[in-house]
Homo-oligomer: A and B are copies of this chain.
Amino acid sequence: MGNERVIIRMQKNSSNNDLAKLFHTLEKKGFMARYVPYRDDCLVMVEGRPDRSLALQSIPGVREVVTTSTPFPLASLESTNGKASAVEIIPGLKIGGGEKTIMAGPCAVENRDQILECAKAVKKAGAVILRGGAFKPRTNPYSFQGLGSEGIALLVEARKATGLPIISEVMSTEAIEWMLPHVDILQIGARNMQNFPLLKALGKVDKPVMLKRSPMATVDEWLQSAEYILLGGNNRVILCERGIRGVETRTRNTLDLNIVPLVKSLSHLPVIVDPSHGTGIRELVAPMSLAALASGADGLIIEVHPRPEEALSDGMQSLSVPEFTSLMQSISRLIPALAVPEGSEKKCTSVTVM
């Protein structure tokens, strides 16, 4: 899977002249090079495996030359030398890097009272990010499709009232421009995991992006979708597992927690778990939230509704405020027990696959 590829990392103080020389050397030998501004680094990616005689390492400005065969070099754990990333959401709030981040809120923004009431309640219970859908992808064209821009305006109002940063789904490239100033994290829904024009467009924005896994995607496909965003230059990518098509029909989806430690052995990107869509059943949300954190997830995104029985969408899987509050208490008991005592840590360096 994936061909060989060379990644060249330039020195911080390298000049345009150095870069030009490098490209010249490569192209003379027929290699396709691609310039990628990535994080603070300047990278050059080369398809194929340039011969040692090119002596790339000795070209001025070159810091490091890495050969890789992973199909997702920028998302790979190798690219950070095994260090997990932390993604800054707003100053002082990060996802990843040891934090356990809880996002909560209604499936869809329905009206002013609902979102404000819900935002205050989830904040009180301990959530640090507010979720809420304004544009809802719906299987049926006749179903409620969300409040649209009005929904975004109400989310902004809820942020003002609570201070919670907001995450909301963006369904099309057209919508990016005007959602951008208003939301703190742009979510890519599971159905759009391989909407490549959308991924490319989000590679160009200066906001964190949360990429949900498609219910039929392998981890390799998912990380390659993340690679589209990273390759565009946006390094603030967060992954979100929300359940696959499994065998059981009583649950809406099958939450695949295996992939939490699997992703962490392959990629530096943080992983959030969505137990609401991952189960589709309110009573399963709490135990699966604890299981997700125990499996190593960096956080959760949970649907909460002040009156789940009246919700316009996903009521069956939304927690009431008391249920969410009780879950947050369980979580606060769990997290210290998951911490590894100092001196006893033993990092898995690689995953062997059967």
List chain A positions with a Cβ less than 8 A from chain B: 2-3, 5, 45, 47, 71-72, 137-142, 171-174, 191-192, 194-197, 214-221, 224-225, 227-228, 231, 244-252, 254-262, 265, 278-284, 287-288, 290-296, 316-317, 326, 329-330, 333-334, 336-338, 340, 344, 346, 348, 350-354
Contacts and interface: CB of A to CB of B under 8 A. Distances in A.
B217 A197 contact: no
Given A195-B192, A228-B141, A296-B287, A248 B256 contact: yes
Contacts of A334: 294, 334, 337-338
A84 to B, nearest CB: 14
For A2, A216, A346, which residue has the most chain B Cβ atoms within 10 angstroms? A216
Copies in the complex: 4
B259 A257 contact: no
Contacts of A261: 283-284, 287-288
B140 A353 contact: no
Contact of A258 (B255, B258, B346): B255
B224 A141 contact: yes
Given A137-B194, A196-B137, A248 B219 contact: yes
A142 B294 contact: no
A215 B217 CA distance: 10
A294 B296 contact: no
B246 A262 contact: no
Contacts of A333: 337-338
Given A248-B262, A293-B294, 5 more contacts: A174-B197, A281-B354, A287-B295, A317-B354, A329-B344
For A3, A71, A141, A218, which residue has the most chain B Cβ atoms within 10 angstroms? A141
Contact of A351 (B140, B141, B174, B281): B281
25 contacts: A5-B142, A140-B224, A140-B227, A141-B196, A141-B224, A141-B231, A171-B196, A215-B216, A216-B216, A220-B250, A245-B247, A246-B246, A246-B254, A248-B258, A248-B262, A250-B353, A251-B258, A257-B288, A280-B353, A281-B351, A281-B352, A281-B354, A287-B295, A290-B295, A294-B294
